[in-house]
Every structure is written in structure tokens, then in C-alpha cells.
Copies of this chain bind each other. A is one copy, B any other.
Amino acid sequence: MPRPKTSQTRQRIQEAALELFTEQGVRQTSLRQIADRLGLTKPALYYHFESREELVTSLLQPLVDDLDALLAEDEAASEIDARDLLGRYFDVSYKHHALMGLMRQDLPALGEVGFVTRVLGWRRRLTVLLAGPDADTAAQARAIVALGGLADCLVLLAETPVDELREATLDAACAALGPS
């Protein structure tokens, strides 16, 4: 079983899956629906993916890589500018906005592929970067509002042109963060 990690059909399956996951939820989508959308049959999917779980995981991988890289970079920096960090977080989130939407609105379904602890870890690390390791409740709340609000803007203002959305979102998030 060679199953190349990249192929035309494999990619088309991932795209169809992501569309359906976004429309109706991860757990609510069956392999049959994905196959139907592409005019394929279920067994064809199993040629390209070992299991349903591998399909979901492969879909999330690009987001995982980008977010891990972003955090590693910022944690290595000697000093960080809050708006700058939020800006890079916005850019990664926008690049993977469909996946970020799943992460936000369908987390239990992604828990099936062991994603929950990872997501919580990201949020904790981002909060530490924004508020420091020993932040009190007030400072933590400010960081949480900034990060959570940013994610919500991507979902709820998805129709807005990126540049306008980026500035409005960062303004609001930085305001929540307050004077550093």
C-alpha cells in the first residue's frame, strides 16, 4: 500500500471533507457524503486514507504546523509587541479560517483525534505571551477576551474584506488587552 502523501484525488477528498465539515459539523459528516460529493464510492476513500481519523488529522496538520511555528518563534523572542503578535495570530487564523472555525465551534468532534489538549495548550501559551506567566485574573481575562474575540471576528465577520477586518479586529483585541 503506497498511498502517496500527496495526490490530486487525495487533495480533492480533503477539500470536499472540509466543506462538509464546515457546513454540518465533523461528526455529522459521513464518509459516504464525502464520496458522493466527489462522485466516488466509500472504498475509494480508503485507498487514499487509512481511516476516517487519518483524514481528519491530515486536514488539521497544516494549521498545527503553522501555529506551532508561530508560538515557537514568539516564545524564543526576547521581547514581544502585543499588536504584532496578535497580527501574526490573525494572519495564521485567516489563512486557515475554515479549520479555525472547526476548532472553535466543533472542538468535541476534534477531540476524537486527540486535539483538545493541543488547543488548550495553544491558548495557554498565547495567554502567557500576552499577559505573562504569573498574570492575575484581570490580566488573564484581558488576554482571553483579546484572543477569543479575535477568533470570533473571523467567524462572524467573514464577509468583510481582509484588510478592513484585520484592522478592526486588531483594534478591538488590543483595546481589550489595555495599556501594556
Residues in A lying within 8 Å of B, measured CB to CB: 24-28, 104-109, 111-112, 123, 137-138, 140-142, 144-153, 156-157, 160, 164-165, 167-169, 171-173, 175-178
CB contacts (< 8 Å) of A168 on chain B: these are 137-138, 140-141
* Whole-angstrom CA separation of A59 from B92 in the bound complex: 36
CB contacts (< 8 Å) of A175 on chain B: these are 142, 145, 175-178
* Whole-angstrom CA separation of A164 from B137 in the bound complex: 8
Q: A27-B27, A28-B112, A144-B156 are in contact. List 14 more A-B contacts (CB 8 A).
A: A25-B27, A25-B111, A27-B28, A27-B108, A28-B111, A104-B104, A108-B109, A109-B109, A142-B175, A144-B157, A145-B148, A145-B175, A146-B172, A175-B176
User: In the complex, what's the smallest C-beta–C-beta distance from A83 to chain B, in angstroms?
Assistant: 14
User: In the complex, what's the smallest C-beta–C-beta distance from A121 to chain B, in angstroms?
Assistant: 13
Our pick among B112, B151, B157 for the contact of A140 (Cβ within 8 Å) is B157
Give the 5 A-B residue pairs with the shortest CB-CB distance, closest first.
A25-B108, A145-B149, A148-B152, A176-B176, A141-B168
User: In the complex, what's the smallest C-beta–C-beta distance from A66 to chain B, in angstroms?
Assistant: 21
The answer to whether B28 and A109 touch across the interface, beta carbons within 8 angstroms, is yes
Closest to A173 in B: B145
Closest to A152 in B: B148
Ordered by A's residue number, 7 sampled pairs between the chains whose C-beta atoms are within 8 Å are A28-B108, A104-B104, A137-B165, A144-B157, A148-B156, A149-B152, A175-B176
* Whole-angstrom CA separation of A147 from B148 in the bound complex: 9
CB contacts (< 8 Å) of A178 on chain B: these are 172, 175
CB contacts (< 8 Å) of A144 on chain B: these are 149, 152-153, 156-157, 172
User: In the complex, what's the smallest C-beta–C-beta distance from A118 to chain B, in angstroms?
Assistant: 15
